[in-house]
């Protein structure tokens, strides 16, 4: 858009509104409860303030509405006083007290005490006044209803229910006052301070304080005062019996929507019976008169033994009955004995709840699909609205039932804490609240509670999403039912009432129609008062009622229901009841309407009712138990908090079916926080909830991350475990568990978890913890390798590969995980350093353990450690201690892999070299080889050179090869005599052999490492071949066919050529990167370079001392009999270890291995003395002579045949060593010269005389 173009305000608003039409799909699965959005909810409940608008209503019912509104206001005030009492925290413990009257600042202390406690005492005073006022107002209303002229008057169902709520309020307030001892303590503290300061000097204040003191100090003051005032009223028990009956009818008919309504009905039963039983046995009399039914009440009390009172306070409703003066246990056979088990067996109940949940979700899904798929133009039909309304009502009733089960279970547990005698897990030192929560639930009960809470919160989320659709359908249905009833159902009864001159009945029905009928003024009355019977009947079907989404107001609904109830009531104030004036079919219609419309107020406030049905904040509140600690506890730890107990159980039980229920348990904190702010309006309670959430959520993320890591580590380790090994273990009865699917996938997709108003990216938090855990896992693996010898490199490689697979599996759900290569470099301390911890430990083990202690055996191609070695074992770090998840995942897998890798612990061979080549890489291998070259040079220039110089001094100057005529025994005697000083050299078999062994082991290590590296490189090249245009040559009889087949294959697989495709389709930078990657893949050491050759060349540089080659020979060619070159020294050394030892002694090869031979042969080959050694070696000469004469004698204690056999074996070993060395040494020569022998031409021999003559 050009800068000059202007956008009007209307266009800008239109552009913004278009944004709402853009779909924002969220792939996050819904496994959390409904969040509390910031919405504006319209409350149309006027509390009967609009009663005067309905002038057509009956006047006495309008008067009753006025009293109804007053009572509702008092109920709200009573709730606020209950909140204040329940949330009272003791202040006197925190207030400094004057220790003596002589304390100088005691006046200031008391002034502060009065200043702090005066507002709270004022609230207590208001509470006392409210209690007296409420009792007086309630008794006045009972007295009015018990007046002789009013006893037969009709009292509405809603009014009786309000009286029942008043009775419940008195019971709650009195129990709260009795429970809070801290209120009395704080008031006593205030009173002492006020008396000291003499601030209560006037008579009225003193009188108020005395009354308040007595009010707080007297137990059951409210109940007893109410009971005493009621007993002064004649016939009060009849009104209370009516209250009990209406509550019983509602309870038995399940005409309640919220758990609080259900529990209120039961509490009213108990307290009302307590109030009825006065000086005489009124309860028994009323039961005899059939005014109340003790049998039914007994069953109800048995089914609900414990109900919530307020917050975490509970009460046994039947306890009120037991306190009655005329209580007879025989009349209450069921309730008199208290059950030892909870009346709600939640573990058994969850099965039925699960079935109901499945059925309801199925129905709800069908409705949802119909709403989503069939987009109808215009409103839905009456049948569809009725179905949706019934579905919403059933959902609320199910939620109410499930929530009641949870709340009643928790209440029973709180009232019946466990003890160490019945629960072995409960310690003797456990606190009361700890015994009521932490140790009071079995595993089955925890699982059942978790599942029920999850179903409650899950269904709340689904219904909350349908709030708008359901609300519209409910309003349309209510409007249709109400208008159909008043305009159609009441039409004929009204006509007959006027026809038969039943003025009272007709007046009431007419008032009902005028109150809520939505029609043109006078239209309905004209039809009713018409005298033409034919016209009447003809016009009945012509009445058309509009359909609007408009619900009646609360006052309208109250007036209609009350007037309809008056038609059905047996009390009408006259001699004849109006019920008898109505025909049976109309009575049934009215009864059905009353039953149906009872739920309309709750349905019309669907969102509020839904939230109240699923409200489980009681599971967190603990003010009652905090009060019981008497100041020892400011707040309980999280392991005693029921929401965290359930959350922690899911994390620790490893039950896959509960994994997706985790976030639902955390929503209990949302309930507690919301109730603290909106109902209690106490900021300090919300702060405590928030503080616990901060702590619990950290623990939640920590434990969840550990569980995720352990699960995926077990999964990767199980995938790596050899299947045959697992089968063999199973055959032996050893079970290696395979992890079951834990359903972490859904949980790890949560990116905006709603908790106390915060939107939390759980995926990101778990990713951070997993990154740290993976880093620690790799660090533990390396530390474990550092605490062991070189043979542990195989287990380290396995751990790294298992962690790599684990990282790959978790990356599918946690895409933000750091790259495994970066984690490995960080754990290996190889980010900036040229070498890492693994490289350092490999070289450290090579230098201090492998080279000096291991013996090589060519037949097995392994290095083994001689058990009788006396060399000191190097000091290593202690093995790290960590959880199973940081190794192989579980105890059984750790044991399995320990047994597997123990097979690699007694030697160093091909598996170890492959692991070294994989873990160290080119850079680490270069560092190790460079250091080994330095070690080899140090060995040659220091110990080997020193010992060689000493031995050369002990050897004879000339040692010829004796003629065959001497025979093999003579030749052996000859060499034994000439080399006796060398044989007797003390350091030869110890330090010198040890130095040669270390040099030989270093050379062998380099050779075997190169072989392992070459195998790894060839594997990589073969894997990369299809992507680099390297295609196997196909079989063809003719060359032309082969070329054509190759071209077809190249064309077929051309799309696999990564570098070529990127050059065609990518940019310049991408093409350059592709070429570099292709080059790095192709250029490998095995393609033309030799590490071992380079090492040999570097070692040859150390053999520049004349000691090894001697002076120039006198004949200008070579030394033959003189012992001045290294190969002669090595021949003497070989003579020593070829000499057979006694059976009780240990052979040299058992102690030093073949590294001794490799060191000597390597030096001989590097010095170019290979051929001379083979031609002039002492031992070889003995063997050649013995092969000719075949003698076998004992020469100076040496068995000739045994020695020859040892020489033969060592000769074969030397030939093998020389062939390997020559192969690598020749590979370094220029092309064309590797297959040529170095030949020197000499002149023919000339006689000495001729030479002199010349």
Render 677-743 in DSSP notation, one character per residue.
IIII--HHHHHHHHHHHHHHHHHHHHHHHHHHHHHHHHHHHHHHS-HHHHHHHHHTT---PPPPP--
Place of tokens 């298992």: 802
Q: How far is CA 450 from the centre of its chain?
A: 15
What Cα–Cα distance (Å) separates residue 182 from each residue in 186, 622, 634?
A: 6, 15, 13
Give the CA-trace dihedral at 626, 629, 631, 635, to 10 degrees. -40
Task: Provide the 10 A C-beta neighbour count for residue 1038.
Answer: 8
**CA–CA–CA angle 706, 712, 715 (5° rounding):** 140
Angle at the Cα of 1140 from the Cα atoms of 1138 and 1141, rounded to 5 degrees = 125
- The pLDDT value given to residue 1: 45
Non-local (6+) Cβ contacts of 509 within 8 A are 490, 493, 494, 497, 567
Do 1059 and 1074 form a contact (C-beta atoms < 8 A)?
yes
Decide if 901 contacts 795 (C-beta within 8 A): yes
Task: Please give the pLDDT value at position 1248.
Answer: 66
Q: For the chain, what's the residue count?
A: 1254
3-state secondary structure of 310: strand
Quick check: helix, strand or coil at residue 607? helix
Gap between the Cα atoms of 511 and 556, Å rounded: 11
- Helix, strand, coil shares of the chain, percent, nearest 5, are 65, 0, 30
Q: Are 414 and 312 in contact (CB under 8 A)?
A: yes
d(CA 592, CA 253): 13
- Report the DSSP pairing between strands 854-857 and 1198-1199: unpaired
Q: How far apart are CA 621 and CA 309, in angstroms?
A: 12
Q: How far apart are CA 1030 and CA 1022, in angstroms?
A: 9
User: Whole-angstrom Cα distance, residue 621 to residue 311?
Assistant: 6
Cα(196)–Cα(101) distance, integer angstroms:
10
**What's the CA angle centered on 862, arms 856 and 867, to 5 degrees?**
65
Q: How many CB atoms are located within 10 Å of the residue 632 CB?
A: 8
Spatial separation of the C-alpha atoms in residues 339 and 358, rounded to whole Å: 32
Separation of alpha carbons 791 and 373, rounded Å: 66
d(CA 853, CA 994): 9
Q: Which residues pair with 863 in a beta bridge?
A: 856, 908
Q: What is the pLDDT of residue 535?
A: 42
3-state secondary structure of 777: helix
User: 243 in helix, strand or coil?
Assistant: helix
Both tokens assigned to 470:
């359901």
In sequence order, what are the beta bridge partners of 1122? 958
DSSP state of 863: E
- 736 burial (CB, 10 Å; 0-12 / 13-18 / 19+) is middle
Rounded (10°) angle between helices 491-499 and 503-516: 150
∠ CA(267), CA(270), CA(275), 5° rounding?
120
First to last CA, the chain: 113
List of residues 6+ apart from 1207 with CB closer than 8 A? 1138, 1179, 1180, 1182, 1183
Q: CB neighbours of 297 closer than 8 A, spacing ≥ 6?
A: 244, 248, 269, 273
Structure tokens at 885: 């998840």
DSSP 1027: G
Distance CA 114, CA 121 (A): 9
Strand (E) or helix (H) holding 865: strand 862-865
Q: What is the pTM of this model?
A: 0.86
Whether the CB-CB separation of 186 and 213 falls below 8 Å is answered with no
3 state DSSP class of 307: strand
Region at 1029 (left for phi over 0; alpha for psi -120 to 50; beta for the rest): left
| Cα 742 versus chain centre, distance | 10
Contact 885, 716 (CB under 8 A): no
* pLDDT for res 1142: 83
| pLDDT given for residue 195 in this prediction | 84
Strand partners, 451: none
CA dist., res. 919 & res. 741, Å (int) = 32
At 27 the three-state DSSP class reads coil
State the number of CA atoms in the 13 A half-sphere of 1066 facing the CB: 14
On whether the CB atoms of residues 900 and 888 are closer than 8 A, the answer is no
pLDDT in tens, 40-56: 666 667 777 776 666 66
In 146-180, alpha helices (H): 157-179
- Alpha carbons 154 and 681: distance in angstroms, whole number: 39
Q: What parts of the chain have a pLDDT lower than 70?
A: 1-5, 23-25, 36-44, 51-58, 374-378, 520-544, 571-577, 869-872, 1083-1088, 1227-1238, 1240, 1242-1243, 1247-1248, 1250-1254
| The three-state (H, E, C) secondary structure of 787-834, written as one string | CCCHHHHHHHHHHHHHHHHHHHHHHCCCCCCCCHHHHHHHHCCCCCCC
Strand, helix or coil for residue 808: helix
Token representation of residue 150: 């009013």
Coil/strand/helix, residue 753? strand
Assigned token pair, 987: 């350091």
Continuous H helices in 180-202: 181-197
Residues 6+ apart with CB under 8 A from 457: 32, 33, 34, 614, 664, 667
Query: Please, which residues have CB within 8 angstroms of residue 262's CB and are 6 or more apart in sequence?
Result: 251, 256, 400, 404
């Amino acid at each position: 858009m050009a800068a000059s173009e202007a956008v009007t305000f209307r266009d800008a608003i239109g552009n913004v509104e278009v944004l709402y039409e853009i779909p924002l799909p969220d792939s996050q699965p819904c496994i959390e409860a409904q969040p509390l959005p910031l919405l504006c909810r319209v409350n149309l409940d006027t509390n009967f303030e609009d009663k005067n608008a309905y002038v057509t209503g009956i006047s006495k019912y309008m008067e009753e509405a006025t009293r109804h509104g007053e009572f509702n206001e008092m109920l709200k005030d009573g709730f606020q006083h209950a909140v204040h009492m329940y949330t009272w925290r003791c202040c006197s413990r925190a207030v400094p007290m004057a220790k003596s009257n002589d304390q100088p600042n005691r006046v200031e202390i008391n002034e502060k005490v009065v200043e702090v406690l005066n507002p709270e005492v004022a609230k207590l005073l208001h509470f006392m006044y409210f209690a007296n006022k409420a009792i007086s107002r309630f008794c006045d209303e009972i007295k009015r209803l018990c007046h002789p002229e009013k006893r037969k008057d009709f009292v509405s169902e809603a009014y009786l229910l309000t009286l029942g709520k008043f009775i419940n309020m008195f019971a709650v307030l009195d129990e709260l006052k009795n429970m809070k001892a801290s209120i009395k303590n704080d008031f006593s503290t205030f009173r002492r301070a006020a008396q000291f300061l003499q601030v209560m000097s006037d008579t009225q204040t003193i009188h108020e304080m005395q009354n308040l003191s007595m009010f707080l100090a007297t137990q059951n003051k409210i109940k007893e005062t109410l009971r005493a005032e009621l007993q002064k009223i004649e016939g009060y028990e009849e009104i209370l019996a009516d209250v009990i009956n209406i509550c019983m009818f509602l309870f038995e008919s399940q005409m309640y929507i919220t758990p609080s309504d259900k529990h209120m009905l039961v509490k009213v039963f108990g307290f009302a019976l307590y109030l009825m039983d006065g000086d005489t046995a009124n309860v028994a009399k009323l039961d005899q008169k059939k005014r109340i039914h003790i049998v039914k009440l007994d069953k109800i009390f048995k089914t609900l033994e414990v109900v919530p009172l307020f917050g975490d306070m509970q009460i046994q409703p039947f306890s009120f009955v037991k306190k009655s003066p005329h209580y007879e246990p025989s009349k209450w056979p069921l309730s008199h004995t208290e059950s030892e088990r909870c009346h709600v067996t939640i573990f058994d109940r969850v099965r039925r709840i699960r079935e109901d949940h499945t059925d309801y979700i199925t129905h709800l899904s069908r409705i949802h699909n119909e709403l989503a798929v069939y987009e109808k133009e215009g409103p839905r039909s009456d049948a569809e609205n009725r179905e949706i309304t019934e579905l919403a009502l059933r959902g609320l009733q199910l939620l109410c039932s499930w929530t009641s089960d949870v709340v009643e279970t928790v209440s029973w547990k709180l009232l019946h804490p466990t003890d160490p005698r019945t629960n072995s897990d409960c310690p003797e030192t456990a606190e009361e609240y700890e015994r009521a929560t932490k140790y009071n639930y079995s595993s089955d009960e925890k699982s059942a509670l978790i599942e029920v809470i999850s179903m409650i919160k899950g269904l709340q989320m689904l219904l909350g999403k349908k709030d708008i659709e359901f609300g519209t359908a409910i309003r349309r249905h209510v409007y249709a039912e109400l208008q159909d009833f008043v305009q159609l159902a009441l039409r004929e009864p009204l006509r007959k009432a006027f026809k038969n001159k039943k003025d009272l009945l007709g007046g009431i029905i007419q008032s009902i129609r005028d109150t809520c009928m939505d029609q043109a003024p006078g239209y309905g009355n004209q039809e009713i008062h018409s005298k033409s019977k034919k016209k009447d009947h003809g016009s009945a079907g012509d009445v058309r009622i509009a359909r609007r989404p408009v619900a009646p107001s609360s006052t309208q609904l109250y007036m209609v229901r009350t007037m309809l109830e008056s038609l059905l009531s047996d009390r009408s104030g006259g001699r004849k009841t109006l019920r008898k004036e109505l025909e049976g079919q109309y009575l049934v219609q009215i009864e059905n309407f009353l039953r149906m419309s009872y739920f309309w107020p709750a349905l019309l406030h669907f969102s509020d009712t839904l939230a109240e049905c699923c409200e489980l904040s009681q599971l967190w509140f603990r003010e009652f138990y905090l009060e019981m600690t008497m100041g020892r506890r400011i707040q309980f730890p999280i392991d005693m908090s029921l929401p965290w107990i359930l959350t922690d159980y899911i994390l620790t039980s490893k039950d896959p079916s509960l994994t997706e229920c985790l976030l639902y348990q955390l929503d209990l904190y949302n309930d507690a926080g919301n109730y603290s702010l909106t109902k209690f309006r106490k900021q300090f309670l919300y702060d405590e909830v928030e503080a616990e959430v901060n702590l619990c959520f950290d623990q939640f993320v920590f434990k969840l991350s550990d569980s995720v890591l352990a699960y995926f580590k077990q999964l990767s380790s199980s995938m790596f475990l050899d299947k045959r090994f697992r089968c063999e273990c199973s055959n032996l009865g050893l079970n290696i568990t395979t992890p079951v699917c834990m359903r972490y996938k859904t949980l790890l997709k949560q990116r905006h978890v709603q908790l106390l108003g915060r939107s939390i990216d759980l995926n990101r938090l778990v990713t951070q913890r997993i990154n740290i855990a993976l880093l620690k896992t790799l660090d533990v693996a390396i530390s474990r390798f550092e605490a062991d010898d070189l043979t542990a490199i195989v287990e380290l490689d396995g751990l790294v590969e298992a962690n790599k697979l684990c990282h790959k599996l978790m990356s599918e759900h946690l895409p933000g995980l750091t790259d495994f290569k970066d984690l490995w470099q960080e754990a290996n301390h190889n980010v900036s350093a040229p070498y890492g911890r693994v490289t350092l430990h490999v070289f450290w083990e090579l230098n201090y353990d492998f080279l000096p202690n291991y013996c090589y055996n060519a037949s097995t191609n392994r290095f083994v450690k001689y058990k009788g070695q006396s060399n000191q074992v190097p000091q290593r770090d202690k093995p790290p201690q960590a959880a199973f998840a940081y190794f192989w995942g579980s105890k059984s897998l750790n044991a399995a892999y320990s047994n597997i890798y123990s097979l690699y612990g007694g030697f160093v061979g091909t598996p170890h070299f492959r692991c070294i080549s994989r873990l160290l890489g080119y850079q680490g291998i270069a560092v190790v080889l460079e250091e080994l070259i330095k070690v080899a040079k140090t060995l040659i220039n220091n110990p080997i050179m020193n010992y060689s110089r000493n031995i050369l001094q002990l050897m004879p100057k000339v040692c010829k090869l004796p003629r065959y005529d001497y025979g093999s025994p003579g030749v052996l005697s000859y060499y034994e005599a000439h080399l006796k000083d060398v044989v007797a050299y003390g350091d030869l078999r110890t330090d010198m052999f040890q130095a040669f062994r270390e040099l030989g082991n270093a050379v062998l290590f380099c050779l075997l490492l190169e072989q392992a590296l070459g195998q790894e490189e060839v594997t990589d090249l073969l894997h990369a071949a299809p992507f680099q245009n390297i295609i196997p040559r196909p079989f063809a009889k003719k060359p032309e066919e082969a070329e054509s087949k190759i071209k077809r294959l190249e064309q077929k697989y051309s799309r696999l050529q990564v570098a070529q495709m990127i050059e065609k389709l990518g940019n310049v930078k991408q093409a350059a990167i592709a070429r570099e990657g292709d080059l790095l893949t192709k250029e490998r050491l095995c393609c033309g370079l030799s590490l071992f050759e380079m090492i040999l060349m570097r070692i040859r540089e150390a053999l520049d001392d004349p000691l090894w080659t001697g002076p120039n020979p006198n004949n200008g060619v070579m030394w033959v009999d003189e012992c001045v070159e290294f190969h002669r020294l090595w021949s003497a050394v070989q003579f020593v270890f070829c000499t057979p030892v006694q059976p009780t002694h240990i052979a040299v090869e058992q102690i030093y291995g073949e590294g001794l031979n490799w060191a000597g042969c390597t030096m001989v080959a590097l010095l170019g003395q290979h051929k001379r050694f083979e031609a002039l070696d002492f031992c070889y000469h003995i063997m050649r002579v013995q092969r000719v004469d075949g003698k076998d004698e004992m020469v100076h204690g040496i068995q000739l045949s045994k020695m020859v056999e040892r020489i033969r074996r060592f000769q074969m070993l030397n030939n093998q060593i020389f062939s390997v060395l020559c192969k690598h040494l020749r590979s370094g020569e220029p092309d064309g010269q590797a297959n040529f022998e170095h030949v020197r031409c000499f002149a023919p021999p000339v006689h000495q005389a001729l030479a002199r003559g010349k």
